[in-house]
Chains A and B, each alone.
Chain A
């Protein structure tokens, strides 16, 4: 009998379409990856912006989110800004890519590329 497992709410969630796309991107990258890494950085006219990159390794303090078969590492500095965020993939006539639905966001700059919490 194993001991009880603590139910931890993950830092962020991933939609089906985002997970599917991440898997496809990882397959298509052509080199082994440990997953993708999400971070935030201070830049732009309105504060923070997301970064989304392939991960080659695991950092000791990364928050690891495993959901729908993909591994997302969340940069420890970013965790506090990202709690509750849903990562989605959108595709339309004009553009395609990942978007973050972040309940912590309070304001965005005009062009939508950076945000405040």
Chain B
């Protein structure tokens, strides 16, 4: 049967086959990337002629070409300065963030970063952003898909770690665009993994997805029922993964080597060599119980024995961290490990025996691992891609991975959208001014769970101008957070107290200065602000007129109270105010009003005295005393 038709506006019926080709799923990983498609009942990973599915997420920048994947990894040995690996860790990160992790990176991070700019990597004589490097990886993955399918690949579902913040998600979408791909949807990696398992097996109940990849750790709790995947809670650590395992093993090896050979400083390239030995040891110890691995540096070879027990000791603190985070997430979802029906293992690092043991111990159940943990995410993404392009009976209901809020007085973070809120969502909260007459407010959007803004991630800043002058706490600023199905956030702020609608949507961006956003804001508020200014100017002029008339009248009646110079001084101030009131600067008008007030203070005082004297003239002293006494008594009451 033909696909059902909708009724369209005249001339708008879309062409048949305008419907898209089946989109692919891409797992853009820290260590490896994969592309998969779900054409038939089962999704498959697209492979090269040699049958390889994994594309190492490694890019080598040579003089005349860019090399991605296995070859780039080989180049890393000889030209470590030309190669970028684990770039995913830098996605959406600002310069400050990177300083924190720079020490752990095997390549140089550009020291000078433009104000508030994106991180830049110096590699192979080029200066690149993480987005560009990721785009190069995506191009290679796309090319592999196109070779396997024999057609163009233009649309993809791309997976991201559940804890990826807004900036990192935006960066991922940008990388896709740069690589000529439309990212139909960003799907959380653990969710994709559950999709791969759930659809195949028609599972129902609560499931945990324990995803320990090369660079990141994610734990998610999902509920599967009626073909709907509901993410109940997610958590993780963006800087915990197999790379860290390699790191601790390499450190152990290098400490041994230093004792043996007395070597101290290593170049970046040498450190990479040591990491490769460490990694080999880790991988081989998943099947072997012990072994020996060499490190060859500067022509000198050292040999390092390692057994499973020692490996466990080395990596245990890292696995402990992952387990503690898992417990926290379960608690978030208001459940206990026993409630979880099954645990899905994702990521190459879950092959490490200690990881499996500790997961089994925590949940009291044998974890699911029958789908290759390296491929399961891409396969799930492919299923989601098929669901989005062709329709599917399964549906994915996702949540926000981190809380979103704004900065309030005292550097505190007020959460507007708590973590684990189902998306899409829109939440509004009202804020107010802190000072009397405050006409602008800084809206600082942050993401994270901490109370203090400085400990959370800053997503965007913009100013709301044109708040009418009111006493502190009277203005009503409505801040609206909207999170779409990709987990991307739009924030708008509006002053509701006056009924004047001023609204602007700001998409938080990474790297870019706030100028662009500020520009958008200014543009949309220009008119409202002009109106407000006009009103305030008119009010200032009215004030000026009022005082000029009053002083003028006083001078005509009581000029005798002033000396010539005093009178001239007042007249000069009046002249100045008249001139200023012709202009358009309400602040200067207010200042001139103030100045005239000051200049006539003494004059007003004398007039007051004279009034009192004339009122008292002819009153007997005793009566006066009575009056004063009565006044004093009145005042005492």
A–B direct touch in complex (beta carbons closer than 8 A): yes
Contact partner, B7, options A36, A43, A49, A94, Cβ 8 Å:
A36
Encode A87-102 as 1/0 by CB contact (under 8 A) with B: 0011001111111100
Which residues of chain A from 35 to 57 have any CB-CB distance to chain B below 8 Å in the complex?
36-37, 43-45, 49-56
Which of these binds chain B: A6-14, A60-68, A108-116?
A108-116
**In-complex Cβ contact of A111 among B9, B13, B19 (8 A):** B19
B8 — which chain A residues lie within 8 A by C-beta?
51-54
Whether A113 pairs with B393 at a CB distance below 8 angstroms is no
B17 touches A111 (CB 8 A): yes
Closest CB in chain B relative to A12 CB, distance in Å:
14
In the complex, chain B residues whose CB is within 8 Å of the CB of A97: 3-6
Let me know if B16 and A44 touch, CB within 8 A.
yes
Which residues from A are CB-within-8-Å of B4? 89-90, 95-99
Q: Is B1 engaged at the interface, CB distance under 8 Å to the other chain? A: yes
Partner of A25 from B7, B17, B391, B393 at Cβ < 8 Å? B7
A3 to B331, CA, bound (A): 83
**Number of residues of chain B lying within 8 A (CB) of chain A:** 20
Q: Does A74 contact B (CB under 8 A)?
A: no
Chain B, range 4-29, C-beta contacts under 8 Å to A = 4-13, 15-17, 19
From B2, B7, B9, B10, contact of A108 by CB (8 A): B2
Q: Is A19 interfacial (CB 8 A cutoff)?
A: no
A22 on interface, CB distance cutoff 8 Å:
yes
Dominant SS among interface residues on chain A: strand
A94 touches B2 (CB 8 A): no
Q: How far does the Cβ of B632 sit from chain A's closest Cβ, in whole Å?
A: 77
A53→B10 contact, CB < 8 A = yes
**CB nearest to A112 among chain B residues:** B2
Question: B2 contacts A115, CB within 8 Å?
Answer: yes
B572 interfacial by beta-carbon distance below 8 Å: no
Roughly how many angstroms separate A95 CA and B7 CA in the complex, as a whole number? 14
User: Could you say which of A37, A49, A99 contacts B16, with CB atoms under 8 Å apart?
Assistant: A49
A54 touches B10 (CB 8 A): yes
Q: Report the nearest A residue to B4, measured CB to CB.
A: A97
Which residues of chain B are within 8 angstroms of A53 by Cβ–Cβ distance?
7-13
* One of A45, A54, A93, A112 near B9 (C-beta < 8 A): A54
B392 adjacent to A113 (CB under 8 Å) = no
Q: From the candidates B5, B10, B17, name the one contacting A56 in the complex (CB within 8 A).
A: B10
Interfacial residues, chain B to chain A (CB-CB below 8 A): 1-13, 15-17, 19, 391-393
Q: Could you give 7 example pairs across A and B, Cβ below 8 Å?
A: A43-B16, A43-B17, A44-B15, A49-B16, A52-B6, A53-B8, A97-B6
